[in-house]
């Protein structure tokens, strides 16, 4: 982290925030247009929707990911096998980012958020149905879980960026990041309680269903914006 900070401090010039502020100031007309109030309302909806997408995808991802090693150890898998499954999962969380960004721009934020919900549902179903001795299906399930999280994080972030201004963007994103961290912590804690009182399969199904609940929310928000 220290080395990353030093690299950014020395090499990230000009500062993107300063550039963005300069561009915004150039574009400003000095007076609010008649559509500013409506834009503010749309902005709030976009912030709420973006935050919901990221919070729900974080809960689902952390809950299933946290209990997968426990589930595997209970059924005789070694640490190397656990590491392999989680390694595929972590790779699937971050490696698709460049492609995901392009898709979010090309086909839209809402469409990619819907893809996130469907992918997380598939991850939950595969994880729930996978035989305990099937490494292949566990890898598929956790890879889908990572990809679904990636879709949700990037599409939700893009919605928030679209719905904020230079003056409040950092504050809003920081607040949402705090909520995401709390959601992840809650998902990890609750997942253990669910598995202890039911099963890993029930947790996986519950995660998939929770992710799928995003679809009606997004459709409703899209209709309101239209």
Confirm whether 20 is domain-assigned: no
pLDDT of residue 23: 82
Average pLDDT over residues 187-213: 96
Low-confidence winner among 40-49, 149-158, 177-186 (lowest mean pLDDT): 40-49
Confirm whether 1 is domain-assigned: no
pLDDT of residue 25: 81
Average pLDDT over residues 132-149: 97
| Complete DSSP assignment for the chain | -HHHHHHHHHH--S-HHHHHHHHHHHH--SS--TTHHHHHHHHHHHHHHHHHHHHHHHHHHHHHHHHHHHHHHHTT--HHHHHHHHHHHHHHHHTTHHHHHHHHHHH-HHHHHHHHHHHHHHHHHHHHHS-TT-HHHHHHHHHHHHHHHHHHHHHHHHHHHHT--TTTHHHHHHHHHHHHHHHHHHHHHHHHHHHHHS-HHHHHHHHHHHHHTHHHHHHHHHHHH-
pLDDT digits (tens, 9 = 90+) for 86-139: 999 999 999 999 999 999 999 999 999 999 999 999 999 999 999 999 999 999
pLDDT digits (tens, 9 = 90+) for 49-99: 999 999 999 999 999 999 999 999 999 999 999 999 999 999 999 999 999
Q: Is the pLDDT of residue 218 over 90?
A: no
Confirm whether 147 is domain-assigned: yes
Distance set, CA 48 to CA 124, 194, 217 (Å): 25, 28, 11
Mean pLDDT of the chain: 91
Confirm whether 16 is domain-assigned: no
Confirm whether 134 is domain-assigned: yes
- Could you tell me which of 156, 123, 161, 128 has the C-alpha nearest to residue 141? 123
Confirm whether 188 is domain-assigned: yes
Q: What is the CATH number of the domain that holds 195?
A: 1.20.1250.20
Confirm whether 88 is domain-assigned: yes
Q: Is the pLDDT of residue 43 over 90?
A: no
Count of the separate structural domains present in the chain: 1
Residue 161's pLDDT band (cuts 50, 70, 90):
very high
pLDDT of residue 30: 55
Confirm whether 202 is domain-assigned: yes
pLDDT of residue 32: 53
Q: Which domain holds residue 121?
A: 43-225
User: How far apart (Å, rounded) are the C-alpha atoms in residues 81 and 204?
Assistant: 20
């Amino acid at each position: 982290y220290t080395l990353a900070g030093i690299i950014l401090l020395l090499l990230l010039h000009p500062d993107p925030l300063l550039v963005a502020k300069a561009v915004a100031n150039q574009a400003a007309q000095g007076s609010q247009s008649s559509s500013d109030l409506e834009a503010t309302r749309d902005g709030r909806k976009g912030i709420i929707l973006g935050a919901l997408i990221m919070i729900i995808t974080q809960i689902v991802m952390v809950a299933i990911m946290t209990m997968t090693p426990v589930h595997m150890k209970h059924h005789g898998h070694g640490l190397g096998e656990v590491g392999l499954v989680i390694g595929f999962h972590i790779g699937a969380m971050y490696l698709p980012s460049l492609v995901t960004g392009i898709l979010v721009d090309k086909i839209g934020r809402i469409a990619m958020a819907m893809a996130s919900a469907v992918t997380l549902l598939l991850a939950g179903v595969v994880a729930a149905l996978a035989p305990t001795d099937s490494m292949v299906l566990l890898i598929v399930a956790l890879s889908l879980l990572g990809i679904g999280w990636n879709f949700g994080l990037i599409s939700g972030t893009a919605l928030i960026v679209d719905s904020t201004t230079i003056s409040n963007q950092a504050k809003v994103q920081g607040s949402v990041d705090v909520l995401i961290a709390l959601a992840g912590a809650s998902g990890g804690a609750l997942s253990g309680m669910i598995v202890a009182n039911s099963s890993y399969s029930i947790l996986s199904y519950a995660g998939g269903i929770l992710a799928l609940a995003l679809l009606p929310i997004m459709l409703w928000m899209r209709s309101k914006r239209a």
